[in-house]
Structure 1
Amino acid sequence: MLFVNKLLKLFGIITSLGMLLVLLMGAVVTKTGSGDGCGNSWPLCYGKVLPEAPEIETIIEVSHRIVSAALGLLVIILAIWAWRKIGHIRETKFLAIASVFLIVFQGLLGAAAVVWGQSDIILASHFGFSLASFASVVLLTILVFEASGDKRTPHVPKRIRFHLYAITIYSYIVVYTGALVRHTGASMACDKVPFCSDGQLLAFSGPQGIQMLHRTAAVLIFVWLLYILIIGLREFKNKGTMRTGIILAFVFICLQALSGILVVVSNLNLFLALFHGLFISGLFTVLLYLVMLSLRSGRQ
């Protein structure tokens, strides 16, 4: 039994890392313009597993499809395995169902983008569901680790629970504004920070409006998390999990903001853009974990 539990933990870690890889590979597909690497052919690429003498865009797109399909299988195995082994933990069944649904649905959205055209809304939704899928797998893995130790159920005051619920929802909205920036080609619509362009602080229409909408939304989430950090440090002096989680969330938003600035300054450096996606993935996952702890507290 102990060996099986260790194996499940290892499998959860591998699957979580794999989901992060899928998320980053999706960002590479977008940043390199490889979404049309297989034309409108799906699941095959121009009717083949891999066309002869493929272009780099085709290789990137096919690689993303293969890794996504493999991770889909791993997520299904993890969900079933966790359901059977730790189904007694309250959140397990919900996260197992959510992880399978989200990985399947994001695959269908990706297929729809290929077959029926890559509209901005579909592409933005695809990233949003990919992020939620990654977070659900990570949380399910955390439950696997909790099953072999003490279940964390800290007391979270109602005021802080409200802020955590609200900012998690809001952060997901901010993710969509960022996805729209990428998929509408507005990433460099404003080439100055904090100004949109020389002498222009704000913009309200077109690509510049989309860019400034995302920046304004990002500033708000930074200020909001700073406020949560201040009240959280005062409230959770002796509660390590909540305290650490809130600090980690603020660190992620700082790194997210810094990477976003550097992406503009570097004129869309691919490496920095991937880190930008990595940090928002970490932030959203940490916030969801804090929400899970808060829900437990609310049921006490």
Structure 2
Amino acid sequence: MTPVLSQAPASVRRAAYAALGVSLLHIVFGAIVRISGSGMGCGDHWPKCYGYWFPPLERMDLIIEVFHRYLASLLLVTVGATVFLAWRNKQAPRVSGRGGVLRSSGLMLAVGFFAAAFGAVTVNFSNAWWATVIHKAIAVTVLALGAATVVRAGGLGAASVSAGHGTPKAIGGATAAAVMALLVVLLGGLTAKVTGAPVACVGFPLCGEGSLGGGPQHLQLTHRLVAYLLVAHLISLPFLFRRRGEPMAVQTAAWIGMVLGVLQVCWAAWMVIGGIAGPDKYAPRSLHQATGILIWVTAFVMTYLARIAAGRSTVGAQQVSGVPGTTGGAMTARAVPSAS
């Protein structure tokens, strides 16, 4: 008897993927805004840019900032479309009830509006470090809700995962990776904003001779040490999961996390050894920021899949192929005879 899990309707699933993709693009572009110093590209004007919805594209900092705002609008549109399609298909598998697409996409839309509103706070306070870090925390929350929506729709390998095929140990390992990844992302945002912290450590992998010392160096070093612990943990996970026979989707997420972790160390070395200042350093800094976000969302998805596999999380109105559908709340998949 092999459980065969269903997916949400294709339109809902595609919309969820689109919302996740735009959310990822928006947060990565937000890092580029910070790296290029374009956060005040529209001055202290919000939501318009110097009184225009479509201002003259005469300065690079203005172009970067205003397109970041356009991406925020596009994100709200795609999430809104996901909510609408989920509501239209609320009787379909995986859509309604606890653990369904409708609830996570609705929450994603609400937090997305809050993120947009908080953008006004960051502008009014001239991108102060605390406002920037809070804004980033809200953004990664939106990203996590987008990933959860895709998983609930049956994407990112979730359609192949059924309860009872994973172990609680996988939840612990994946959760530790997700917590550390989130901490590294937020510490990275804080390091980028505190005066002197981005260049406080001379040398790699630790702070060498000529480093600034004081609080900025301690912040930079803390960011690095937590990142090293995260990468070491990510390298161990795929081997542990394979030995325990965790579901393939969970193992795949672990392998992706490991590769991203190794790449992140490479980008960090390139960024520090080559010097962090100057326009020609945008590439390694942008890659470093983007990879950190990818590690976070990968660790989050890995945790969610591990929880489903261990029976700790359910999906809304889950239906099994070949078995009459259900349209109520969350339930555990029933087994049906396999084709073999």
Structure 1 residue corresponding to 2:253, chosen from 245, 251, 260:
245
**Structure 1 range deviating more: 76-85 or 24-33:** 76-85
- 1:52-71 to 2 correspondences below 5 Å: 52=56, 54-71=58-75
CA distance in 2, matches of 1:55, 1:219: 38
Q: Say if 2:267 and 2:287, in contact at 8 Å, map to a contact too.
A: yes
Q: Cα 1:144–1:159, aligned 2, differ >3 Å: closer, same or farther? A: closer
CA distance in 1, matches of 2:98, 2:157: 11
What secondary structure does 1:39 align onto? coil
Amino acid at match of 2:143: F
Deviations 1:39-89 (A, max 9, x none): 111111222224456322112111111221121121122133235432257
Q: Which residue of 2 aligns with 1:290?
A: 302
Structure 1 residue corresponding to 2:201, chosen from 165, 190, 201:
190
Per-residue deviation, 1:100: 1.3
Structure 2 residue corresponding to 1:166, chosen from 151, 176, 189:
176
**Count of residues in correspondence between the two structures:** 294
Query: Relative contact order: is structure 1 or structure 2 higher (C-alpha 8 Å, sep ≥ 6)?
Result: 2
Deviations 1:269-294 (A, max 9, x none): 21222222222222212221222223
RMSD: 2.7
Structure 1 residue corresponding to 2:52, chosen from 48, 54, 63:
48
Per-residue deviation, 1:34: 0.7
CA distance in 2, matches of 1:148, 1:227: 21
Q: Say if 2:76 and 2:112, in contact at 8 Å, map to a contact too.
A: yes
TM-score, length-scaled by structure 1: 0.87
Write 1 or 2 for the structure with the bigger share of helix: 1
Percent identity for Structure 1 against Structure 2 = 22
CA distance in 2, matches of 1:33, 1:288: 29
- 1:1-300 to 2 correspondences below 5 Å: 5-52=9-56, 54-85=58-89, 86-88=95-97, 90-146=99-155, 150=159, 152-153=161-162, 155-185=165-195, 186-198=197-209, 205-236=214-245, 239-268=247-276, 269-296=281-308, 297-299=310-312
**Structure 1 range deviating more: 220-229 or 47-56:** 47-56
Moved segments of 4+, more than 6 Å? none
Q: Cα 1:148–1:223, aligned 2, differ >3 Å: closer, same or farther? A: closer
TM-score, length-scaled by structure 2: 0.77
Per-residue deviation, 1:261: 1.7
CA distance in 2, matches of 1:121, 1:113: 9
Q: Say if 1:80 and 1:96, in contact at 8 Å, map to a contact too.
A: no
Per-residue deviation, 1:145: 4.0
CA distance in 1, matches of 2:258, 2:18: 26
Per-residue deviation, 1:176: 0.8
CA distance in 1, matches of 2:215, 2:251: 41
